[in-house]
Amino acid sequence: MSAEFRKSFDFPRVVTRTMVEAELDGTDAQRVPGFLDELAAVTADSIGKRLRTVYPAADELVEIIVTPEADAVEGACVIRSLAQVQQCR
């Protein structure tokens, strides 16, 4: 983790803004003081494990293309606007 990022938490305005953002995102703002320790504990292995447990396997993903060209990409769900995204499921 960069020293600059760690140093930014020395400023009350940064911590306050981060706490507000946490609340708006539905995260308990009381976690904010521990964010630096949480981030320091992140490893390549922990990221890999999270990706494997949260995201579907590559062959289960849906490729969505937003374009006015109906046949833009073979095998993809091609839609003209994001409002149509539900039809890709």
State pLDDT tens for residues 41-80: 999 999 999 998 998 888 888 778 888 886 777 878 888 8
Q: What is the DSSP string of the chain?
A: --HHHHHHTTSHHHHHHHHHHHHHTT--GGGGGGHHHHHHT--HHHHHHHHHHHSPPGGG---EEE-S-TTSSTTSEEESSGGGGGGG-
Give pTM, 2 decimals.
Answer: 0.50
**Percent of the chain's residues with pLDDT above 70:** 97
Residue 66, token pair as written in the block:
């937003």
